[in-house]
Amino acid sequence: MTPHELMEEAVRFLDSKKAEDLAVLDIGNLSGIGDYFIIASASNTTLVKTLAEELENRLSAAGMEPRRVEGASSAMWILMDYYDVIIHIFYRETRDFYCLERLWSDAPRLDVQAILGN
């Protein structure tokens, strides 16, 4: 699976599980840490943890294992590092506080609706 295909699969899955405010940043030309950031929110920490666990299971079934997963114990912000695709699942208020979109404002934003086929 290419990084682009992985990004699309993760976005579609998160959307289908009712993740909120999905955003995809193309960081490939700005950083050596990866190609894409996927940022999603959830209304409570239980949902943050569930989204991360189910996404990890889904990608694992497709043969994709994360390099690391951080933040699962608090579930305020779970980071899933899939090498070229880095997935951030936030509790809504935590996302507002850290505002990764502002920190990475130079990164082009991809059209999530186009990825979803809407």
Q: What is the pLDDT of residue 77?
A: 96
Distance between CA atoms of residues 97 and 77, nearest Å: 11
pLDDT digits (tens, 9 = 90+) for 72-98: 888 999 999 999 999 999 999 999 999
Taking alpha carbons only, the member of 79, 88, 95 closest to residue 43 is: 95
Long-range contacts of 71-77 (CB under 8 A, 24+ apart): 74/45, 75/45, 75/46, 75/48, 75/49, 76/45, 76/48, 77/48
Q: Rounded distance, CA 43 to CA 20, Å?
A: 8
Per-residue pLDDT tens for 4-49?
A: 999 999 999 999 999 999 999 999 999 889 999 999 999 999 999 9
The whole-number pLDDT of residue 66 equals 96
> What is the model's pLDDT at position 32?
86
Is the pLDDT assigned to residue 1 strictly greater than 80?
Answer: yes
* 24, 37 contact by CB (below 8 A): yes
Q: pTM here?
A: 0.94
User: Do 58 and 37 meet the contact criterion of CB atoms below 8 Å apart?
Assistant: no
The residue ranges of every structural domain in the chain are: 3-113
CATH 2.130.10.10 correct for 3-113: no
Whether the predicted pLDDT of 53 surpasses 80: yes
